[in-house]
Amino acid sequence: MVLTEYILKRRCFSKKMNMSKEYEKYVNIDGAALYTKVIKGKKDNPVIIMDAGYGDYSKTWDQVAEKITEYGTVLLYDRAGLGKSEKSPNTRVSSEMVKELREILQQLHLKPPYIFVGHSFGGINVRLFASLYPEETAGLILVDSTPENYREKFLPIMSSEFQEAYYKQFTYEGTYEEFMRSLDEVGRHPQTLGNIPLVIVAAGKKDFYSDEAQAQWIKMQKELLQLSNNHKMIIALNSGHYIQRDEPEYVIEAVKWIVSHM
């Protein structure tokens, strides 16, 4: 396979790449080669970990990754089965994804403290990581993150066309049932991170949203502030769901704020 040959080549040159500011590496977890990219910052710590949304991968952070090396070392990665990563035999639920991310960090020798930046479903993953390992978490940024009560409190107010498209999307990364299990997993953990710095970055101009739906979305994003006693809210008024592309300065501002409150 071409991919396998490429992986072997990357491994052969891994020591050489580690000497540069930016390097890519495949990490083998349970027989699956997962793609990672480390961009060294002005200082080694904190490590800023970027987790993409459902079915998405590391390219989604292209407009912010290089700029936030001002504040630390950046880790980009593709979850199993996405981007350049191979499929995993493991169930595609957040608890498994957290285990895989932890293994990635260990194999790359990236030590805490960690700042997590999670977009959409990625926000569920990083919330679970922070809940399980608060001592390793220096801060949390949720970029238009999925609330765990999305199905109950938000989806019913959307049009039937929107709801149909929503249910049909679960073919890229895990099933609808696995996605719901992930929401349940994060909901079962303590809904407070104590004093860990938290920034909620919410989209203020979502596609296909009525005024009612947009208002409800902002309300639910504000409710996520309850996760920490040390928090900040940013509403990106001219952004759709991909704030990191529409108004990337807000994600960069959030990282800067977290670093200043560590």
Q: Kind and range of the H or E element at 29?
A: strand 22-29
Q: What's the average model confidence in pLDDT over 81-108? A: 97
pTM of structure:
0.90
pLDDT of residue 242: 97
Confidence of residue 13 (pLDDT cuts 50, 70, 90): very low
- Count CB neighbours of 185 within 10 A: 20
Q: What's the average model confidence in pLDDT over 176-187? A: 94
Tell how far CA 221 is from the center of its chain: 16
- Residue 7 confidence (pLDDT) above 50: no
> pLDDT tens-digit profile of 28-75?
999 999 999 999 998 888 999 999 999 999 999 999 999 999 999 999
d(CA 232, CA 144): 14
Confidence of residue 190 (pLDDT cuts 50, 70, 90): low
Q: What's the average model confidence in pLDDT over 151-164? A: 91
pLDDT of residue 89: 93
Average pLDDT, the chain: 91
Q: Where are the beta strands (DSSP E) in 110-230?
A: 114-119, 137-143, 198-203
d(CA 6, CA 110): 24
Q: What's the average model confidence in pLDDT over 113-121? A: 97
pLDDT of residue 216: 95
- Residue 18 confidence (pLDDT) above 60: no
pLDDT of residue 20: 53
Range from 39-53, 70-84, 184-198, 240-254 carrying the lowest mean pLDDT: 184-198
Smallest Cα–Cα separation from 142: which of 41, 243, 259, 37? 243
- Residue 119 confidence (pLDDT) above 70: yes
- Overall fold of domain 38-260: Rossmann fold (3.40.50)
- Residue 16 confidence (pLDDT) above 90: no
pLDDT of residue 189: 80
* Adjacent-strand bridge partners of 33: 28
